[in-house]
Amino acid sequence: MKEKIYITRKLPASVVKKLEGEFYIEMWGQEEEAIPREVLLEKVKDAQAVLCMLTETIDEEVLDAAPNLKVISNMAVGYNNIDVEAATKRQIIVTNTPGVLTETTADLTFALMMATARRLVEASDYLRTGKWGTWSPMQLTGMDIHGATLGIIGFGRIGQAVAKRAAGFGMNILYYNRSQKPEVEKETGARFAALNDVLRESDFISILLPYSEEVHHLISDKELRLMKKTAILINTARGGIVDEEALYDALKHEMIWAAGLDVFEKEPINPRHPLLTLPNVVTLPHIGSASIATRMKMAELAVDNVYNVLVSAGRVKRVN
């Protein structure tokens, strides 16, 4: 009998093709709608592999429902939606899609920095809603990017790719990370610093850490108070790293100047969330890796990961 792979979101047929023939594939038919929990629990019952998105919480309950599971392939670089420890205890391999989305996510991080600093969304709304009466000297003025100090919290692949872009813009770069990266320091002039120094000295603070319990609300009231009054906070990592209530207060009371957010503690964020009422917040619906080419590469890598685990585990014979 063919092994079953369950795919939790509609992926392009050209990508899934690789698995056809050798495996029995079932897929949640919707692209814009996440699979309901009860359907997921039902569908994984007889699956050997699950290819999932960051929208699915793969916890003990799912693992208990899937006694034959050998691999969980997450179509994302972040995998905080999966209980890796529980999966590992059951000898289930967990895979993700690092590397292929680095540059695209760094592009978006930079775009969000610029959009927030130069008030692009506000300016566009200003024009479209007929408020543009005349040019005026201080109209919609923002912050400079060139020559400013960028503090990067989390200096992995994406953090380093952002630093390379920042060097091209003539920014001073500070970074906080578990380990120092001398090669990138040489290339970009980035300087390794303690977290509090990064927070105190930066004009832009870019959060690019992977999420874990350890970094939950790493940026909260105390950290926001350390930042400059003119600081701009950018989060393109995971919402849980920033305490949204504390951020709202800091923005509302002008403790910092603005924020650019692509990720939220709860996604999708409630459209009535207080943060969305503030003019100095630019918000995006978690689109860091959303270029056509990159999303295709992520899907292909997630498919390859399933294939390679099942094949190398010798559970199917390779045909070719």
What are the residues binding ligand DGY (CB under 6 A)? Answer: 54, 76-78, 101, 288-289
In whole angstroms, give the CA distance from residue 234 to residue 260: 5
**Nearest-angstrom CA–CA distance, 189 and 191:** 6
Nearer to ligand DGY, 158 or 281 (CB): 158
Residue among 52 and 174 whose Cβ is closer to ligand DGY: 52
Catalytic-residue membership of 37: no
Nearer to ligand DGY, 3 or 262 (CB): 262
Instruction: Report in angstroms how near the CB of residue 278 gets to ligand DGY at its nearest.
Output: 23
Of the listed 20, 187, 267, 315, which one is catalytic?
A: 267
Least distance (Å) between residue 85 CB and ligand DGY: 19
CA 68/CA 64 separation, integer angstroms: 10
The number of residues making up the chain comes to: 320
Is 217 an active-site residue?
no
CB atoms within 10 A of CB 118: 16
**Comparison of 79 and 175: residue with beta carbon closer to ligand DGY:** 79
Among residues 238, 244, 295, 300, the one annotated as catalytic is 238
Distance, first Cα to last Cα, the chain: 19
Q: How crowded is residue 284: how many other Cβ atoms within 10 Å of its Cβ?
A: 18
For the CB of residue 76, give the shortest distance to ligand DGY in the complex, in Å. Answer: 3
DSSP class of 137: T
Closest CA to 263 of 288, 233, 290, 295: 288
Region of residue 115 (left: phi > 0; alpha: psi -120 to 50; beta: else): alpha
Catalytic one of 56, 286, 295, 300? 286
Cα–Cα separations (whole angstroms), residue 35 to 215, 263, 315: 28, 20, 28
Q: Is 267 a catalytic residue?
A: yes
> Please, which residue, 48 or 105, has the CB nearer to ligand DGY?
105
- Cite the DSSP H helix spans in 211-263: 221-226, 244-252
Whole-angstrom distance, CA of residue 69 vs CA of residue 184: 40
Least distance in Å: CB of 28 to ligand DGY?
Answer: 18
Which residue numbers are catalytic?
Answer: 238, 267, 286
